[in-house]
Amino acid sequence: MTILDQIIKTKEIEINYSKCNTSIVELEKLPIFKRTTISLSDSIKNSFHGVIAEHKRKSPSKSIINDSISLSQVIKGYNNAGVSGISVLTDNNYFQGSLEDLLNTRKMTKIPVLRKEFIIDEYQIIEAKAYGADAILLIAACLSNKKIKSLSECAKSIGLEVLIEIHNLEEINGCLIDSVDIIGVNNRNLKTFKVDIQTSKNLIKYIPSDFIKISESGLSSPIQVKELKEFGFDGFLMGESFMKHTDPGLEALGFINKLK
């Protein structure tokens, strides 16, 4: 069983527990559910850098990355850096994230917020909207084409944008649908956790120009980002390279300034 398989198994248990405690009707009654979302796609397109900065305390591959700095310090720093979007991990078991992190981030910024989660059920999409997300992540590796379609259409129906993450050529075809806004190429193999930037360079030619294209994982230098921009990428999801520093926001600011 891969780490991804383990995470999905845990997620199924979590979702059933959440459904028993808070119904969809209750989620839809939360004040923030009715807010007008901010377009992550537009924010990326209107930016010269396209950096989506992530709040991430730990990961299965790296263990603890940074659990000493407060969420408010990180988000304030990302705000000051002028990032295009903020990605918030909400998985607790493997990443030490939470829905409260998502909600508190929403309260602290007007920058588009992405819920980074292993989404396998429509319930999680309603949760995302109710806790302040503007966009959700879907991972093609753990979803059928049919499920990608139904989940992305659910998200679009309540005003959320959809970023779908792919890892190989086989996963692309099921993602080329109207209900997907952004296609992200993850340079990390979710089965082995090996990272290879070449993955982005190899796969971008198969992604139509209709979609916003972002590269994810393993990005650590402005040179890499500039090179990937030349290949046609619009945005870059970066977490560990900022979060491993004592001041992630300051690191993001310095990184973005080097892209000018």
Catalytic annotation, pick one of 117, 127, 161, 165? 165
Q: Measured between alpha carbons, how far is 30 from 127 in angstroms, rounded to an integer?
A: 10
Give yes or no for a contact between 133 and 160, defined as CB atoms under 8 angstroms apart: yes
Catalytic annotation, pick one of 11, 58, 116, 129? 116
Residue among 222, 173, 226, 219 nearest 197 (CA): 219
Told to judge if 217 belongs to the known catalytic residues of this protein, a careful annotator would answer yes
Told to judge if 165 belongs to the known catalytic residues of this protein, a careful annotator would answer yes
Catalytic annotation, pick one of 84, 104, 179, 186? 186
Told to judge if 14 belongs to the known catalytic residues of this protein, a careful annotator would answer no
Told to judge if 216 belongs to the known catalytic residues of this protein, a careful annotator would answer yes
Catalytic annotation, pick one of 58, 217, 240, 251? 217
- How much of the chain is helix, strand and coil, in % rounded to 5? 45, 15, 35
Told to judge if 116 belongs to the known catalytic residues of this protein, a careful annotator would answer yes
Told to judge if 79 belongs to the known catalytic residues of this protein, a careful annotator would answer no
Q: Measured between alpha carbons, how far is 171 from 203 in angstroms, rounded to an integer?
A: 10
Catalytic annotation, pick one of 127, 161, 171, 216? 216
The CA-CA-CA angle for residues 211, 213, 218, to 5°, reads: 160
Catalytic annotation, pick one of 56, 129, 201, 213? 56
Catalytic annotation, pick one of 11, 41, 54, 66? 54
Told to judge if 56 belongs to the known catalytic residues of this protein, a careful annotator would answer yes
* Catalytic residue numbers, as ranges: 54, 56, 116, 165, 186, 216-217
